[in-house]
Amino acid sequence: MNDKISLKPRALMYPAPAVIASAYDENDKANACTLAFATMCSHFPPCIMIAINSTAKRKTLNDILERKEFVVGFPCINQVDETDYLGIISGYDEDKLDKISWTTTCGDKVHAPIINELKVSVECKVINIIEVGSHIQISGEIVNIIADKSVLNEEGKISLELLEPIVYDDVLYDYFKVGSKIADAFNTGLKYVEKK
């Protein structure tokens, strides 16, 4: 049935996201960086966890650790160039947001910058910080969600299809769009529940 082999260990996730974390530095200058190490991590309270390389030059990481508040925004496929750029260059070397002509507004519930050009952003307060391997894991409680009305469905909920988020492949270093819907969750598997 199978024809399997062992591969050299490396970090792996399918699919992985490309998201943008942003925070203010000590002078209230907004910095941002692109991350693929990010996930929801709690329902109550609602939380997100981002992991950032502590061995690399990461200004946004430093800002988040200092300020304890940050924003995570979800770029869409027509922002893939800007998203990629924000993951290549360090904020210590260039004024990245200025370079791509992106603008920010301070969050409603946290003192951290929301990138105006991103259609959905979550405002987070740091509730846990740990170091695991080469990365610092930062868990943030989501205290507010800011969404552009253009990505909301008729019920006022965020539509993934309207948002058009970016899938990142960390093995072949590619970006993908999300494709078509294949099934309803908590539904398509019920056939096995009923099966005797």
* Binds its own copies (CB under 8 A): choice among 25, 85, 90, 106: 85
* Tokens standing for residue 174: 């590619």
Residues 16-35 that bind its own copies (CB under 8 A): 16-17, 19
Instruction: Choose between 7 and 27: whose C-beta lies nearer to its own copies.
Output: 7
Where on the phi/psi map is residue 68: left (φ > 0), alpha (ψ -120 to 50), or beta?
Answer: left
Q: Check whether the bond before 15 is cis (ω within 30° of 0).
A: yes
The verdict on 71 binding its own copies (CB under 8 A) reads: no
* Binds its own copies (CB under 8 A): choice among 65, 89, 106, 126: 89
The verdict on 184 binding its own copies (CB under 8 A) reads: yes
* Binds its own copies (CB under 8 A): choice among 25, 53, 67, 126: 53
Q: How many residues bind its own copies (CB under 8 A)?
A: 111
Closest residue by Cα to residue 124 from 192, 80, 72, 171: 72
The verdict on 66 binding its own copies (CB under 8 A) reads: no
Q: C-alpha distances in angstroms, 60 versus 29, 63, 89, 95?
A: 11, 5, 11, 12
At 166, give phi and psi (nearest 5°). -105, 130
Residue 18 and residue 86: Cα distance in Å, rounded? 11
At 163, give phi and psi (nearest 5°). -70, -35
The verdict on 90 binding its own copies (CB under 8 A) reads: no
Residues 94-153 that bind its own copies (CB under 8 A): 94, 99-100, 108, 116, 120, 122, 127-128, 130, 132-135, 137, 139, 141-150, 152-153
The verdict on 91 binding its own copies (CB under 8 A) reads: no
Q: Residue 26 CB, nearest distance to its own copies (Å)?
A: 25
